[in-house]
Structures are given as C-alpha cells and as structure tokens.
C-alpha cells in the first residue's frame, strides 16, 4: 500500500543579496520545512553546488528565500511540472526582468526575481 500525498509544490530558492533565482525543486512538505532541510544538508557539508552556495549565505548570516512557483494537485504529474519549471528558467530570456512572480498560496507573497543562475544538478523529475 502506498502513502497518498496531497499536493506538491514546485519551489524556487532566491539569493537575498541580488534576487537571483538559484534553484528549482519540488516538495510535498511545507516550503519552510523544505528550506530547513536544504540548510541542514549545507551544514552537513554536502558538496553539491546548491549547498556550497547556501553555506556561503549562512557564513554571512543570510539564508535563501523560498517561494512557490506552482502548486501541483495530487492527481497531476509533479515530475513533468518540475522539469518544465527548470526548462522554463534555463531558456533564454524566459521573462522580462525584474520579474514579479504572483503569490501561489494564501500564505505566500509576490516574489521579485532579478536574475537567474540555476545550480540544479539535474533537469528535474
């Protein structure tokens, strides 16, 4: 028997110093919990580029900002949505900057993105 998961979130991590989108991921957890997991992996000295960047922020007493790119209902394919989001941001000139991404949940707010330099190790999914 498999565990039924509710909605998924496709999320992004932003560098608070210059509003650069650095990472796209997915989670079924609250976005704050997922951010804490990223920070913990950085503190455990994970060598992947995303965690090197997070350690750099932490050394300056900063942390990434997390925002919801898209909510994915439980009956839709989160793998495809994550791949699409990564491909969107890797495309040349996907939006006009500065870009304000609209709030996607009741608890979220509009998110400013000034640049994109993704550190994703995979294409998602």
Question: pLDDT value at position 5?
Answer: 61
- Taking only the tens of pLDDT, the chain with its 125 residues reads 344 567 999 999 999 999 999 999 999 999 999 999 999 999 999 999 999 999 999 999 999 999 999 999 999 999 999 999 999 999 988 899 999 999 987 878 899 999 999 999 889 88
Report the alpha-carbon distance of residue 13 to residue 24 in Å, rounded: 7
Report the alpha-carbon distance of residue 54 to residue 64 in Å, rounded: 7
Question: pLDDT value at position 3?
Answer: 47
Which pTM does this prediction carry?
0.92
In sequence order, what are the beta bridge partners of 99? 113
């Amino acid at each position: 028997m498999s565990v039924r998961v509710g909605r998924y979130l496709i999320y992004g991590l932003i560098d608070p110093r210059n509003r650069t989108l650095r990472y796209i991921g997915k989670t079924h957890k609250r976005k704050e919990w997922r951010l804490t997991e990223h920070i913990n992996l950085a503190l455990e000295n994970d060598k992947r580029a995303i965690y090197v960047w997070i350690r750099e922020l932490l050394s300056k007493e900063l942390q990434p900002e997390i925002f919801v790119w898209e909510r994915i209902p439980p009956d839709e394919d989160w793998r495809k949505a994550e791949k699409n989001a990564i491909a969107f941001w890797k495309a040349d000139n996907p939006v006009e900057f500065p870009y304000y991404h609209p709030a996607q949940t009741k608890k979220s707010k509009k998110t400013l993105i000034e640049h994109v330099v993704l550190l994703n190790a995979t294409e998602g999914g």
